[in-house]
């Protein structure tokens, strides 16, 4: 359910409806033609997602850029799944362009659950530990031959400097609305935090919509479209965007995150949050309030962590 923030040009998305999905399935997978098709509520941005019967889903990239992840998911998710402590989506079939739809697409097994949110998590510390253990297992998988950062995943797992221009544009838009001085320092601190170059697997979009709960507990992790092999710091961003203060501490301790990786992870969270703030600047709706709240968490944690170097109130 990725909703990749963009401050630059937004990919040209196409619209997909249930009738098109029915035709694609009937033509390419006639054994499933009798199954009902229905859109998934809040099915994401990168892909259009539909229920296919009671136990499957159909995911169709909404733009050419997002279609780059299809082959990667079919190649690697079956290898990752048995090595992880929680269920992840496993592709069942790969569809081809057709019926006027221009991209490859996928049929997946359906994973039940509800998207994580602060009010749905039963035990915030247990949730944080379970997530850390999942990411730790992911990082221990042999990265040999895995997909390196690139256009297929918006350069997740690469250097934060890829997004420096986006951050500067966001800060210019937010000047006078948020503490851009402190934001610049946090961003600089993240850019200066070195990585030793040890490549590991990462998810790339550990966000609340991609973490499924069952009875308030972490039950599955979905949407590996931005996964790859590189710097795992991008997966730390969830510590600021969803976890509580106690959960964040438990998450960091269980993953044994070093200072540099933590600082880079904070930078990933800041980039995503500044993008959201810039999109909603001057608005008073829930997305604007959420973005500002997360920005406040990043600010407070940075100061409490003793990282403040240049900024003076």
DSSP string over 153-210:
GTTTTS-GGGGHHHHHHHHHHHBTTB-HHHHHHHHHHHHHS------EEE-S---GGG
Residue 309 lies in a domain: no
Indicate if 131 and 256 belong to the same structural domain: yes
Which of 110, 139, 171 represents a domain boundary (last residue)? Answer: 110
| Same-domain status, 152 and 32 | no
Same domain membership, residue 66 and residue 120: no
Domain annotation covers residue 312: no
**Boundaries of domain holding 252:** 115-304
Same domain for 125 and 59: no
Is there a single domain that holds both residue 33 and residue 94? yes
**pLDDT for residue 310:** 54
Output the domain CATH number for residue 161.
3.90.1200.10
Q: Is residue 209 part of a domain?
A: yes
Sheet hosting strand 114-115, strand order edge to edge: 114-115, 211-214, 217-221
The count of structural domains within the chain is 2
Asked, for residue 22, whether it belongs to a domain, the answer is yes
Last residue of a domain, one of 94, 110, 126: 110
With respect to residue 12, please indicate whether it lies within any of the assigned structural domains: no
Nearest to 157 by CA among 193, 204, 194: 204
Output the domain CATH number for residue 77: 3.30.200.20
Q: Looking at the structure, do residues 98 and 170 belong to the same domain, yes or no?
A: no
Residue 153 lies in a domain: yes
Domain boundary among 86, 110, 134: 110
Task: For residues 189 and 266, state if they share a domain.
Answer: yes
Question: Is 40 within the bounds of a domain?
Answer: yes
Residue 17, classified by CB atoms within 10 Å of its CB into exposed (0-12), middle (13-18) or buried (19+), is exposed
For the whole model, what pTM was predicted? Answer: 0.94
Assess whether 129 and 185 both reside in one domain. Answer: yes
In a domain, 133, yes or no: yes
Tell me, yes or no, whether 34 and 127 share the same domain. Answer: no
What count of other Cβ atoms lies within 10 Å of the Cβ of residue 184? 16
40 shares its domain with 137: no
What torsion, rounded to 10 degrees, do the Cα atoms 140, 112, 77, 230 define? -50
Residues 105 and 119 in one domain: no
Q: What is the pLDDT along the chain (313 residues), one digit of tens a residue?
A: 444 444 446 689 999 999 999 999 999 999 999 999 999 988 888 999 999 999 999 999 999 999 999 999 999 999 999 999 999 999 999 999 999 999 999 999 999 999 999 999 999 999 999 999 999 999 999 999 999 999 999 999 999 999 999 999 999 999 999 999 999 999 999 999 999 999 999 999 999 999 999 999 999 999 999 999 999 999 999 999 999 999 999 999 999 999 999 999 999 999 999 999 999 999 999 999 999 999 999 999 999 988 766 544 4
């Amino acid at each position: 359910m990725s909703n990749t923030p963009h401050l630059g040009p937004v990919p040209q998305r196409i619209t997909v409806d249930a009738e098109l999905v029915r035709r694609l399935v009937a033509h390419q997978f006639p054994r499933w033609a009798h199954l009902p098709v229905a859109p998934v509520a809040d099915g994401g941005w990168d892909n259009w997602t539909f229920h296919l019967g009671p136990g499957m889903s159909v995911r169709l990239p909404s733009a050419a850029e997002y279609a780059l992840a299809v082959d990667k998911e079919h190649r690697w998710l079956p290898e990752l799944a048995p090595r992880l402590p929680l269920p992840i989506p496993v592709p069942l079939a790969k569809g081809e362009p057709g019926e006027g739809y221009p991209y490859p697409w996928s049929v997946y097994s359906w994973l039940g659950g509800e998207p994580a949110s602060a009010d749905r998590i039963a035990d915030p510390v247990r949730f944080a530990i379970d997530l850390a253990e999942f990411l730790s297992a992911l990082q221990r998988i042999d990265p040999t031959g895995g997909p390196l950062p690139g256009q297929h995943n918006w350069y997740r797992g690469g250097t934060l400097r890829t997004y420096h221009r986006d951050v500067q544009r966001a800060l210019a838009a937010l000047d006078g609305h948020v503490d851009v001085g402190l934001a610049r320092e946090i961003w600089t601190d993240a850019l200066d935090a070195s990585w030793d170059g040890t490549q590991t697997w990462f998810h790339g979009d550990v966000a609340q919509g991609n973490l499924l709960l069952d009875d308030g507990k972490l039950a599955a992790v979905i949407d590996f479209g931005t996964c790859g092999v590189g710097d795992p710091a991008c997966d730390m961003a969830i510590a600021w965007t969803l976890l509580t203060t106690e959960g964040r501490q438990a998450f960091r301790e269980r993953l044994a995150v070093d200072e540099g990786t933590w600082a880079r992870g904070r930078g990933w969270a800041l980039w995503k949050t500044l993008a959201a703030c810039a999109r909603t600047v001057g608005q008073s709706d829930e997305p604007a309030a959420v973005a500002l709240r997360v920005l406040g968490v990043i600010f407070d944690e940075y100061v409490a962590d003793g990282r403040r170097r240049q900024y003076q109130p």
